[in-house]
Structure 1
């Protein structure tokens, strides 16, 4: 093994939802490590701008304007990638998202759209991209961008979280079924990653008081940024991970590990810190 094994030179990577946020970070990161990048996104302006930025930096990139919920358009985008670069090595299923709504007030149409956006499009892209990978005969890597909400309860995001949990099980099963073709399937599960979408959906989230409050719950004491997702994705796509498949990497600064433990002002850790310690700490047995 050498440092060259982390490089992605000569590989073609397609990123759905790649024009902004986490997808943009992954696309830029993979381009920096030598991959040819195909960006599939509904945001035409941002997608074209990103493709131009990659080209200006000396990389090769293609932007395909498509809505991932349009299955025909999604398949056509994957065909364009394979046709443009003569191969398809990496698929990053990043497109997805949701807005907070209580399950009992969520409409059937909203539920269906959540499922199609977050899970249906992933299955369509995986199936069609894997067909190309099998035909090219070079193996491949599929990376699913799930969420910590696929691992824990998520009040207000019931359908979204169910899709993300389903994505993780699909990752494991697809890894087993596609292993015979040399195709590896893995997932990353981010928690808070500061993107334009995060800031727009949570006004005031970047105020110092809010940032400091989140730092109490995040063991690494900071929010994540898109590059925090790009690094593990590059690893999973590279020759450094040729024996890694069916796994999920949490990208959360330790929040899944801490699972409710909160840092106190004294820099200690306590579960349910607003409760009196006498309610939580077991007493020493009396002699």
Structure 2
């Protein structure tokens, strides 16, 4: 039963001040891990670090703009020095905005790539180096998206970055296996976070009806539910798993074109 515990382990989380990153930090801490939060949101970064310490775990907040690779590299090194080890990396930082690709500027392309993909490459290289030096193995978890596994009109560059993240996860799971470093990706869909509200009116009847039609579990996911999967993958319970991409989406990817009738509750293909 102790295999699920993360006692003595240290997690470095990019974008850990809100949303999925905050959920990861709190759940890892509940299972015994210590936390380093790398984020450019100082107020919420310090808030989450304080909440982790309130659970009896150690936590630091490191001001980090993931658009600057040198800041990520420095934050990883600071974490390894402060705690004396690094066991878990959660590549969570990212973001997007809806725009037609034909109207998207090169500057916007590069911003999407730097934020969603280059930041992951930088953190992975730095963290894997620290894990290898310590000789304790480790776990790297990349927060991709359901858009990595399906079309995403209006989010083409973002989706391409997330698809690249999934491919990178598979390659790293082989390259780092000899060091007992496990690499996985999660593909969340509709998770209730502060970043979701600008895109969707979560209180609208139309939104709720669409949610019930397309998501088999008929509800949004929570950051704790993402955090639970992260804890599992980082624990001894997942010791023979490597290179996975797990959709944490209430079954939305599985439904793919099937919709639930609001009147009969039956599933139908391409209508509802």
TM-score band, normalised by shorter chain: over 0.9
Equivalent residue number for residue 123 of structure 2: 125
> Counterparts of 1:129-148 in structure 2 under 5 Å?
129-148=127-146
Tell me the SS of whatever aligns to 2:126. helix
| C-alpha contact 2:200 2:207 (8 A) present in aligned 1 | no
Q: Distance in 2 between matches of 1:15 and 1:76?
A: 14
Q: Distance in 2 between matches of 1:211 and 1:54?
A: 33
The structure 1 residue matched to 2:199, chosen from 195, 199, 202, is 202
Extract unaligned runs of 5+ from structure 2: none
The structure 1 residue matched to 2:159, chosen from 158, 161, 173, is 161
Equivalent residue pairs, number: 271
Tell me the SS of whatever aligns to 1:196. coil
Give yes or no for the alignment of 1:115 onto 2:113: yes
Q: Distance in 2 between matches of 1:56 and 1:176?
A: 38
| 1:207-264 CA-partner distances (Å, limit 9, x unpaired) | 2442232111100111111011011110110011111111111100001111010001
* TM-score in terms of structure 2 length: 0.98
Equivalent residue number for residue 278 of structure 1: none
Q: Distance in 2 between matches of 1:123 and 1:219?
A: 34
Q: Distance in 2 between matches of 1:141 and 1:185?
A: 6
> Counterparts of 1:1-287 in structure 2 under 5 Å?
3-199=1-197, 201-264=198-261, 265-273=263-271
Extract unaligned runs of 5+ from structure 1: 275-287
Q: Of the two, which has the highest radius of gyration?
A: 1
Q: Distance in 1 between matches of 2:257 and 2:30?
A: 37
What is the root-mean-square deviation of aligned Cα atoms in Å? 0.9
User: How far did residue 206 of structure 1 move?
Assistant: 2.5
| 1:126-146 CA-partner distances (Å, limit 9, x unpaired) | 001000000000000000000
Query: Which has the higher mean CA deviation after the structures are superposed, 33-42 or 202-211?
Result: 202-211
User: How far did residue 203 of structure 1 move?
Assistant: 4.9
